[in-house]
């Protein structure tokens, strides 16, 4: 359920972990702090109106881009081009903390096209 923290920032708990919007005031980008719990993963998805850049702060993650596996550890980053199918999975024993920078023309959660989802979401 999406809520607002004491600083007026959007916060949401998902089946895989949480996200906090750090900045969305400029209109041409959005910045999120994402935590993926051990053994959890986001849906395999794509976006038609934005690209994303993920920087892993801590933890170990498997990132799939159009079917290609990439292992990322703290200090590593990956760019997801607009329209690319992607997923991140926590393959470690501690939470994965990443900073996501979205850039494009639209940043709403309804720009998610889920191709596969462990939690039965469309």
For each of the domains in the chain, give its residue range(s) and CATH number, in order of start.
Answer: 2-108 (2.60.120.10)
Confidence check: pLDDT of 2 > 90: no
User: Is the separation of the CB atoms in 65 and 84 below 8 Å?
Assistant: yes
What 3-state class would DSSP assign to 119?
Answer: coil
Please give the C-alpha separations between residue 105 and each of 23, 67, 75, 82, 102, in angstroms, as whole numbers.
15, 25, 28, 11, 10
Q: Tens of pLDDT along 55-103?
A: 999 999 999 999 999 999 999 999 999 999 999 999 999 999 999 999 9
Q: Tens of pLDDT along 19-67?
A: 999 999 999 999 999 999 999 999 999 999 999 999 999 999 999 999 9
The predicted model scores a pTM of 0.93
């Amino acid at each position: 359920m999406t809520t607002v923290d004491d600083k007026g920032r959007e916060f949401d708990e998902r089946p895989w972990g949480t996200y906090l919007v750090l900045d969305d005031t400029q209109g041409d980008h959005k910045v999120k702090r994402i935590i993926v719990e051990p053994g959890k993963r986001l849906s395999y998805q794509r976006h038609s109106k934005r690209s994303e850049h993920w920087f892993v702060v801590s933890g170990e993650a498997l990132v799939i881009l159009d079917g290609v596996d990439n292992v990322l550890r703290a200090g590593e980053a990956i760019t997801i081009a607009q329209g690319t199918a992607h997923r991140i999975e926590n393959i470690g024993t501690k939470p994965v903390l990443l900073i996501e920078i979205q850039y494009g023309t639209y940043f709403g959660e309804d720009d998610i096209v889920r191709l596969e989802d462990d939690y039965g979401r469309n």
